[in-house]
Amino acid sequence: MNRTATAVEPPAPGALAGHGHAGAAAWEDLVTTALLGTDRRTPPPSLSAPGREAPMALLDAAAAETVRRRAGLRPARPAPRPEPAAEDPRPPLPAAAARRLALLLADHPGASGGGRRGAAPDLMELLPQWLALANAHHYAAPPEALPALLDAARGRTDLRPAALTFAGPRALWLARLNPDWRFALRATPGGGTALPHLQDTEKVQGLWQEGLFAERVSLLAALRAQDATTARELLASTWTTERAEDRLMFLDSLRTNLTAEDEPFLEQALADRSRNVRATAAELLSALPGSALAARMAVRAGACVALDHTRDTPTITVEAPHECDASMERDGVVAKAPAGRGERSWWFGQLVEAAPLATWQARLGGRTPQEIVALPVTDDWQADLHAAWCRAAVRQRNADWSRALLGTPSAPEAGGPGAVSLAERAKLLDTLGADERAEWVAGFIATHGLSEAFQLLGVCAVPWSAPLGRAVVDALNIARDAGSYPWSFSGVMGLAERCLAPSEANRLDGLLAIPEEPENASPGAGGYWAEAFQRLVTTLRLRAAMAEELNP
Amino acid sequence: MTQQGVRWTAEQVLALAPDAASRKAGSKLGAAGPWSETGSSDEGTVWGLCKGSGSKPYQTVIDIADASGPAYKCSCPSRKFPCKHALGLLLLWSGDDGAVPPGQAPDWAEQWIAGRRQRAAEKRTPDTAGSPPAAADPEAARRRAERRAERITAGATELEQRLADLLRGGLAAAEQAGYGLWEETAARMIDAQAPGLAARVRELEAIPASGPGWPVRLLEECALLHLLDQGWLHRDRLPESLAATVRSRVGLPASADGPPVRDRWLVLAQYDTADTRLTTRRIWLYGADSDRTALLLSYGAAGRAPELALPVGLTLEAEVSAFPGAGQVRAALGDQFAPPAPTPIRPPGMTTTQAAVHYGEALRADPWLDSVPVTLDRVIPTPDGNSWQLADADEDAALPLTPAARSRPGLWRLVALSGGAPVKVFGECGHQGFTPLTAWPQGADTAVPLC
């Protein structure tokens, strides 16, 4: 019967007295006649009412039958009901915060076709912060907001971890029902259900032996975070049978909780068939200052660097290696230099980068990192040597050396393209404590302005410390007075909206008015600046309100 | 929340927005930044100054106590209604974080409010006198009505002829004939002043392309159209209430002349449908004391939101008058005695089996009904292949969702809300299945709109 296309089941046979099968058959007869036309198919004799044309009689019967069938509709048989979602034990959001979340989620990017933002805050950009706050309070997400939240996280991968934490178990339950949200299952270690209990050795073994690649990666990552030794042993058990690409990914997961205990395994990986695996193993080993590889590198690098006491001031001399032998290659040194780079300086850089930084203090007369960095270097080797030390300081997360290499923020060369690039400086800053980092960047901005500061601001802790916030606002103020347009600073402005402490809003009130236009200013710039500052203040107030709503 | 007791939620405010762009623009203005001198009064007036691109701030004032939904006035040049400033101000007010303090309205706001109240009072006075102005010449009105009835009769007769031709040649031929056939017939029905018939004819047009099973659906709709034609042609032999239903289905205007029912009306759902000409807004109400469900319809030109907007989940103390006709749920909103307020009232629910029976019984009064308003108690949204159904938690029965409801974002809100547990759902139940419109999760006190 064609009726299957309509949703509700027709009356079951015999449901209505006198119309069982006969009723269904009569209806089918009507449909067939209608489809072919009464000219081609004679209607059933029951329809031939006296004095009534055949099509009219057919329509009369069909009308009665249609209403009868609709009136006799019954519910369908239920499909297997879904397993209920796991309980979310967290407390529900305060009502005001739930409303705020709905507003943030309703602000789809591009809904009004981009364009100038004016003085209104960019709500979607505040979502990450809101989620972080809500997660810090351990609130449960309101279920009706989950679809919009999952849609937002689907479009923005950077939102996913916080969004999924906040969304909780019900989001995973939903994601199993909607293919659009499958990412939630992938993003959660082990896809929510697939990951066995990590103490259950048998299940873990089973999944490790038979699981898909993605499942195995997430299993290894989860295990490594919890029990580093077991994870390494699990990997070692099948190491020789894995494909090269897989070995590389698995090896990478050892980065978490790397300890000296991992050394024998990594040493063995140095002999791997795949060059990428060898390089990764060497990199991991060099991050362990006590490892044999680090000691070998220290010897090699040490042999290249000496202190020349014969000059007026002690000076570092560099004698780069003349060849890259097999043992160096085995320890991860890449023999072939990139185009345009001298072979010897290439090898030298790799040796210094992988040598423990403590080597240098011993080798260069017990000097502090500051003193060592200040030493002159002969024959233009300074750039190579300092760059390699920077990479070593980042790799070994050595704050003392980072501090020494960064220098004072107000130094003139700190702003220029010196030995240390901005990207490297950002990485070096990352090894320092939050306060020290903010202070350094504040000093940098006070001296060099905002044009180079974006990357450095990106590594500072949010909300910005008071000195840093003040430095940024002062620098923006100076930029305005200099007569440039605010969109030259839109990156920093955007960061400030998200990162400035909301308590700074009151200090900005003086900047909201449209200033008198100085003679050399760009036309209309004053108005745009006032608008940009208004947006900044509005956003800060909104953030303060957001935080308050979540903290009733 | 010291004054006027109730603040709306952000969703309720955003539901007033005429389009998505206004919703976005309004939500951006829902922060204290651009606003100054805001305030609200106990009488339900909210006002404020919004800084725009010009030197002079816009003056925005909203009267939320008005019987026919909120009224807005803004000095901005926008032709959207309400404009983003009004939406932003309402959002600020609904946010309830002290940004809109209670106070005395400034002169510019007070003037407008006073003017409105006065006009409203003037309008009410002749109404209560009870003489509609059009009744100046009853004889002429009767003649006009007769002429229109004759035209409709001619139209219905012609339509019967076309249906007969169609069935003589067979529905299979109609599939090939395609659009032109129905478009032309629909135009003829407009000429015959029978917009109800025209709309039904136009709906026939889409059926042959609607996928498997179309001959059944086309025959059903042709038969019901034929039934309506016959109802009109023999309306003098029908009981009066059924004749009234036929008249309204054919498209004759009617007025809500039922006795006004004063009740606490819970706003169950509000949603818009739009075609190229018209935006139609449907608002479902449930009367707590009269145990009645009523439908308010309001219209806006294409692309614009209809004026009437009520916040879902709140109750209004108001009078509602029914339109004539058997089995008709349509009503008109009369006087409103208090602004919308939160409420613990929930419509009583039924099982899926009872819902199917309920629809069947409603067909007795109005055989053209596509669906009836129903509240289902304790149902679980359940995936069923590519489709979804609402499965009864306590009995072995389920109602499938309509094809339209399956593709709406509201479906996922409903599923998320349930999490596999029973929920109470209000919606429309008919021969195509169930369309969920509002849900109440277990143990929660707020209604969640699904449309």
Give residue-wise pLDDT tens across range A276-325: 888 888 888 888 888 888 888 888 888 888 888 777 788 888 877 888 88
B130 pLDDT above the threshold of 60: no
Q: Do A174 and B360 touch (CB under 8 A)?
A: no
What tens digit of pLDDT does each residue of A398-439 get?
888 888 888 877 776 654 445 567 778 888 888 787 888 888
Closest CB from A36, A144, A545 relative to B416: A144
Q: Which chain B positions have a beta carbon within 8 Å of A75's beta carbon?
A: 352-353, 355-356, 392, 397-399
Highest mean pLDDT among A63-72, A311-320, A437-446: A63-72
Chain A CA closest to residue B8: A99
Average pLDDT over residues B406-432: 92
Closest CB from B171, B356, B413 relative to A147: B413
Residue A316, SS3 per DSSP: strand
Q: Which chain B positions have a beta carbon within 8 Å of A542's beta carbon?
A: 31, 33
Best CA proximity match to B266, nearest among B313, B298, B310 = B313
Model confidence band, residue A21 (pLDDT cutoffs 50, 70, 90): low
Give dist(CA B181, CA B201) in Å, integer: 10
Q: Which chain B positions have a beta carbon within 8 Å of A96's beta carbon?
A: 95-97
pLDDT at B159: 94
Q: Which chain A positions have a beta carbon within 8 Å of B34's beta carbon?
A: 119-120, 534, 538
What tens digit of pLDDT does each residue of B41-68 get?
877 788 888 887 777 888 888 887 765 6
A454 pLDDT above the threshold of 60: yes
- How far apart are the CA of A159 and the nearest CA of chain B, in angstroms? 20
- How far apart are the CA of A38 and the nearest CA of chain B, in angstroms? 5
Residue A455, SS3 per DSSP: helix
Closest CB from B10, B226, B382 relative to A79: B382
Closest CB from A58, A82, A112 relative to B167: A58
Closest CB from B53, B364, B420 relative to A85: B420
- How far apart are the CA of A1 and the nearest CA of chain B, in angstroms? 9
Q: Which of B29-33, B75-79, B395-399 has the lowest mean pLDDT?
A: B29-33
pLDDT at B360: 94
pTM of the shown model:
0.73
What tens digit of pLDDT does each residue of A167-184 get?
988 998 999 999 889 888
Structure tokens at B117: 């109240």
Model confidence band, residue A518 (pLDDT cutoffs 50, 70, 90): low
Model confidence band, residue A49 (pLDDT cutoffs 50, 70, 90): low
pLDDT at B126: 52
B22 with B83: CB under 8 angstroms? Answer: yes
Chain A CA closest to residue B165: A55
B274-288: burial string, b at 16+ Cβ within 10 Å, e else = eeeeebebbbbbbbb
Tell me the pairing of strands B58-63 and B71-74.
antiparallel
Per DSSP, A192 falls in state T
- How far apart are the CA of A23 and the nearest CA of chain B, in angstroms? 15
Q: Do B170 and A35 touch (CB under 8 A)?
A: yes
> Taking the domains of chain A in order of start, what are their residue ranges?
2-71, 201-288, 450-552
- How far apart are the CA of B140 and the nearest CA of chain A, in angstroms? 37
Q: Which chain B positions have a beta carbon within 8 Å of A83's beta carbon?
A: 420
Give the Cβ contact number of residue A212 at 10 Å: 11
Model confidence band, residue B70 (pLDDT cutoffs 50, 70, 90): confident
Give dist(CA A507, CA B74) in Å, integer: 32
Q: Do B353 and A75 touch (CB under 8 A)?
A: yes
Q: Do A67 and B160 touch (CB under 8 A)?
A: no
Three-class secondary structure assignment of chain B: CCCCCCCCCHHHHHCCCCCHHHHHHHHHCCCCCCEEEEEECCCCEEEEEECCCCCCCEEEEEECCCCCCCEEEECCCCCCCCCHHHHHHHHHHHHCCCCCCECCCCHHHHHHHHHHHHHHHHHHHHHHHCCCHHHHCHHHHHHHHHHHHHHHHHHHHHHHHHHHHHHHHCHHHHHHHCHHHHHHHHHHHHHCCCHHHHHHHHHHHHHHHCCCCHHHHHHHHHHHHHHHHHHHHCHHHCCHHHHHHHHHHHCCCCCCCCCCEEEEEEEEEEEEEECCCEEEEEEEEEECCCCEEEEEEEEEECCCCCCCCCCCCEEEEEEEEECCCCCCCEEEEEEECCCCEECCCCCCCECHHHHHHHHHHHHHHCCCCCEEEEEEEEEEEEEECCEEEEEECCCCCEEEECHHHHCCHHHHHHHHHHCCCCEEEEEEEECCEEEEEEEEECCCCCCEECC
pLDDT at A112: 42
Establish, for the pair of chains A and B, how many residue pairs have beta carbons separated by less than 8 Å: 253
B147 pLDDT above the threshold of 80: yes
Q: Do A534 and B34 touch (CB under 8 A)?
A: yes
Chain B CA closest to residue A528: B53
* Alpha carbon separation from A215 to A82, A233, A357 (Å, rounded): 24, 18, 38
Q: Suggest the residue from A1, A3, A8 to mutate for an interface test with chain B (most B CBs closer than 10 A).
A: A8
Q: Do B33 and A535 touch (CB under 8 A)?
A: yes
- How far apart are the CA of A153 and the nearest CA of chain B, in angstroms? 16
Q: Do B360 and A70 touch (CB under 8 A)?
A: yes
Average pLDDT along chain A: 80
Residues ≥6 apart with Cβ < 8 Å to A365: A307, A314
Q: Do B216 and A72 touch (CB under 8 A)?
A: no
Per DSSP, A269 falls in state H
Q: Do A30 and B219 touch (CB under 8 A)?
A: yes
Q: Do A78 and B382 touch (CB under 8 A)?
A: yes
Longest Cα pair distance anywhere in chain B, in angstroms? Answer: 74
Helices (H) and strands (E) in chain A, counts: 27, 2
Average pLDDT over residues B28-39: 78
Residue A133, SS3 per DSSP: helix
Closest CB from A30, A76, A102 relative to B11: A102
Closest CB from A5, A79, A106 relative to B23: A106
Average pLDDT over residues A105-129: 65
pLDDT at B67: 58
Model confidence band, residue A272 (pLDDT cutoffs 50, 70, 90): confident
Structure tokens at A227: 């029990």
Closest CB from B14, B164, B216 relative to A55: B164
What tens digit of pLDDT does each residue of B291-322 get?
999 999 998 887 677 878 888 888 999 999 99
Closest CB from B24, B396, B416 relative to A107: B24
Q: Do B164 and A56 touch (CB under 8 A)?
A: yes
H runs (alpha helix) in A381-524:
382-395, 399-406, 412-415, 422-430, 434-448, 454-458, 466-481, 490-499
Q: Which chain B positions have a beta carbon within 8 Å of A30's beta carbon?
A: 219
Q: Which chain A positions have a beta carbon within 8 Å of B51's beta carbon?
A: 119, 534
Q: Do B401 and A7 touch (CB under 8 A)?
A: yes
pLDDT at B352: 94
Average pLDDT over residues A531-537: 83
Closest CB from B34, B96, B399 relative to A76: B399
Structure tokens at B317: 């103390």
Model confidence band, residue A12 (pLDDT cutoffs 50, 70, 90): very low
Average pLDDT over residues A446-452: 79
- How far apart are the CA of B116 and the nearest CA of chain A, in angstroms? 32
Chain A CA closest to residue B360: A71
B4 pLDDT above the threshold of 50: no
Residue A175, SS3 per DSSP: helix
Residues ≥6 apart with Cβ < 8 Å to B233: B153, B156, B157, B160
Average pLDDT over residues A313-338: 81
Structure tokens at B48: 């404020």
Average pLDDT over residues B201-205: 89
Structure tokens at A382: 């300074």
- How far apart are the CA of A212 and the nearest CA of chain B, in angstroms? 26
* Alpha carbon separation from A41 to A58, B136, B208 (Å, rounded): 12, 57, 21
Average pLDDT over residues A89-97: 88
- How far apart are the CA of B226 and the nearest CA of chain A, in angstroms? 7
- How far apart are the CA of A371 and the nearest CA of chain B, in angstroms? 52
Give dist(CA A526, CA A520) in Å, integer: 12
What tens digit of pLDDT does each residue of B153-188 get?
999 999 999 999 999 988 888 777 665 778 889 999
Rounded to the nearest angstrom, the gap between the alpha carbon of residue B100 and the centroid of all alpha carbons in its chain is 31
pLDDT at B123: 66
Chain A CA closest to residue B21: A112
- How far apart are the CA of B356 and the nearest CA of chain A, in angstroms? 6
pLDDT at B331: 93
Closest CB from A8, A82, A112 relative to B382: A82
What percentage of chain A exceeds 70 in pLDDT?
A: 87
B264 pLDDT above the threshold of 90: yes
Task: Count the helix, strand and coil residues of chain A and give each as a percent rounded to the nearest 5.
Answer: 65, 5, 35
